[in-house]
Amino acid sequence: AFWTGFLFVFSMQVLLFLFLDLAIQLGITDKSDAKWFSALGALFGIIPLIHGLASGMVLGGAFIGDTWHGHMLIRNFTLRKYSKAFVEWVFFSFFLGLPLFMIGCTMLAQTDDWWKISGMFWVLSIAVFFIIFVVNVLFYEMRACWEVVRNRYDDDNDGLLHVLSRCILLRQVAAYSGKMTRSYISRGTIEDVEYTDKKSDNLVAETIREKISLRAKINAIFVKWGWFLQYDEPQRYYSVDDARDVRPFITAHTWSLEKIFCRPKNSRYIAIIKGAGAVTRAQMKSSIICSLIGSFLVIFLIMALLVYLQAGTAATMFIVALAIVISLPNFKSTYRLYSVAKDIMFARTESKNADTAVE
């Protein structure tokens, strides 16, 4: 927990200096002329830095979990030749033993800044093993991705440049291809989750709702006009959860507004709508309202930041209008969530009526 706190403070200081630099480049601190190109550089650096620092925080949390569970990753990959007792003694020595011994030695030496020396030694000791942990995670994740791309087809060229170019092309296809999102209700059990992956006899046809992205609609028009050629058939877009074979179930017990508000783009989840752990009506309403409020809050924060930076009325109105246009997919997603909730309530009503008729 100490190490995660240190990472959090470090991340906040980096972001604070970045926002301070943005204010300086805009000339707010000394009422000078704004340096727009430098300000844009600082502004565009906010999102990558936040994403990178957030990833570091996630790795820090995983490092703590691995430490409390017996250093499974480092013990199985980095120090797999040594016994478990030896690995535990190494971690105990650098995490507790040597730092506490350093505190005692500096206090015996009557050093005035004993806390500074001991604290730096403690931080560096943990940092070394944290770096080893991060290197292991990144190495094996990149190695797994490399093997998947290299062995995707039997006739692939396994050369380094060919695999790298294939990675770039696959990323471009995933980023720039049109997408179709499908939501529906399927009857089945948690043990029979494969019915949620494809159309089957258990699928309720009346609840199928498909949403095609604007790029896909434009491309379809160009294909009809003969401007584009359709080389590939549409393929399913797999998420990280799909690759890990993790089923993102949402029940009355796992549901949370934070999960709805912070859900990643192109996320996929399976909502349980009938049974003991089914999502309640209040939870569905809260999800819709939270999604709508979240979209408005983002636009409001952008407007507030522009007003604080004194960007001017015209620039503020233009950027806010642009933010609203960019947020239109979020509002459409909220409407689809509302439509799905209506389908769920209709399915529940039909199920109750059927149960009553049977009785």
**Which residue do the tokens 């983002």 mark?**
298
Residue 60: alpha-carbon gap to chain centroid: 15
CA atoms within 13 A on the CB side of 197: 15
Answer for the pair 61, 4: CB distance below 8 angstroms, yes or no: yes
In angstroms, how far is the first alpha carbon of the chain from the final one?
A: 56
Q: Report the pLDDT averaged over residues 8-16.
A: 82
pLDDT at 358: 44
pLDDT at 352: 59
For the stretch 226-248, pLDDT in tens is 776 666 677 777 767 666 666 67
Asked which of 210-214, 220-224, 266-270, 348-352 is least confident by mean pLDDT, the reply is 348-352
Long-range contacts of 64-67 (CB under 8 A, 24+ apart): 64/1, 64/3, 64/4, 66/133, 67/91, 67/95
Answer for the pair 79, 90: CB distance below 8 angstroms, yes or no: yes
Retrieve residue 269's tokens: 């989840």
Coil, strand or helix: which one is 276? coil
Give the list of residues 6+ apart from residue 66 with CB closer than 8 angstroms, or none.
72, 73, 74, 133
Distance from C-alpha of 210 to C-alpha of 217, rounded to nearest angstrom: 13
The amino acid sitting at 173 is: V
The sign one gets for the Cα dihedral 50, 52, 54, 60 is negative
Asked which of 32-36, 133-137, 315-319 is least confident by mean pLDDT, the reply is 32-36
Cα–Cα distances in Å, from 33 out to 17, 22, 303, 318? 20, 13, 22, 21
Mean pLDDT of the chain: 76
Ranges of H-type helices in the chain: 2-25, 36-44, 46-68, 72-73, 84-92, 98-108, 114-150, 160-176, 214-225, 240-243, 257-261, 281-308, 313-326, 328-358
The amino acid sitting at 112 is: D
Distance from C-alpha of 212 to C-alpha of 8, rounded to nearest angstrom: 39
Retrieve residue 309's tokens: 């930076």
pLDDT at 351: 60
190: pLDDT strictly greater than 60? no
Q: Which pTM was predicted?
A: 0.62
Candidates 172, 182, 177; CA nearest to 233 is 177
pLDDT at 178: 72
Neighbouring CB atoms inside 10 A of 225's CB total 8
Pairing of strands 270-271, 249-250: parallel
306: pLDDT strictly greater than 60? yes
Asked which of 52-56, 68-72, 146-150, 278-282 is least confident by mean pLDDT, the reply is 278-282
